[in-house]
């Protein structure tokens, strides 16, 4: 999921408007940022045969990353913003969980794999599944945003940007 992570950050923004949107977007990508860093370091190989992402993407590790990321905001922004930032990190796991290159682990090297068994769906099916998730999250964003009196132009721009991002990912 790529565009869906942006959409999740926007949806969370409407739950806690005081949270900076950049903090939520970065939060929604924390496991991928860590994954890229660990891939470069050779700890989490990205090649299909040796693919490994337990340190960046397993449930327990994502919970830990979420707690650490949230902790960065407690002193400066208070608990509600910190919780929103942590929720953004957790949303990454929720969105990656249904379909992922390799089923996500409970914790690093755990034999327990969390999966819906959809890991090998065709790219086009995956794209449609993501589209449905993106639309659902953007609907939450637009609906809650309108309730919070976010200008319609900003809601439309944000939704259009996320949809455009997903369209360029068309396989």
Q: Is 44 in the site for Zn ion (CB under 5 A)?
A: no
For the bound state, the minimum distance from the C-beta of residue 2 to Zn ion, rounded and expressed in Å, comes to: 9
Closer to Zn ion by Cβ: residue 23 or 28:
28
**DSSP assignments along 50-102, one per residue:** T---HHHHSHHHHHHHHHHHHHHHHHHH-HHHHHHHHHHHHHHHHHHSSS-SS
Q: Is 54 in the site for Zn ion (CB under 5 A)?
A: no
- CA pair distance 131, 167, nearest whole angstrom: 9
Closer to Zn ion by Cβ: residue 19 or 61:
61
Binding residues for Zn ion restricted to 71-100, rule: CB under 5 A: 96
| Of the candidate residues 10, 11, 23, 32, the single one contacting Zn ion (CB under 5 A) | 32
Closer to Zn ion by Cβ: residue 74 or 131:
131
Bin 108: left if φ > 0, else alpha if -120 < ψ < 50, else beta. Answer: beta
For the bound state, the minimum distance from the C-beta of residue 155 to Zn ion, rounded and expressed in Å, comes to: 26
For the bound state, the minimum distance from the C-beta of residue 96 to Zn ion, rounded and expressed in Å, comes to: 4
- CA pair distance 41, 18, nearest whole angstrom: 35
Bin 117: left if φ > 0, else alpha if -120 < ψ < 50, else beta. Answer: left
Binding site for Zn ion (CB under 5 A): 31-32, 96
């Amino acid at each position: 999921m790529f565009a869906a992570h942006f959409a999740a950050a926007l949806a969370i923004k409407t739950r806690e408007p005081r949270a900076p949107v950049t903090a939520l977007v970065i939060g929604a990508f924390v496991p991928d940022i860590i994954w890229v860093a660990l891939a470069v370091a050779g700890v989490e190989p990205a090649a299909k045969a040796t693919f490994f992402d337990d340190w960046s993407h397993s449930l327990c590790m994502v919970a830990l990353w979420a707690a650490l990321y949230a902790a960065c905001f407690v002193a400066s922004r208070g608990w509600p913003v910190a919780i929103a930032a942590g929720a953004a990190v957790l949303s990454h796991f929720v969105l990656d969980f249904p379909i992922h290159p390799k089923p996500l682990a409970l914790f690093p090297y755990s034999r327990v794999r969390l999966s819906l068994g959809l890991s090998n769906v065709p790219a086009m099916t995956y794209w449609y599944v993501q589209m449905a998730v993106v639309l659902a999250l953007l609907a939450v964003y637009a609906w809650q945003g309108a309730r919070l009196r976010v200008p319609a132009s900003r809601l439309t721009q944000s939704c259009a940007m996320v949809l455009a991002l997903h369209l360029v990912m068309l396989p």
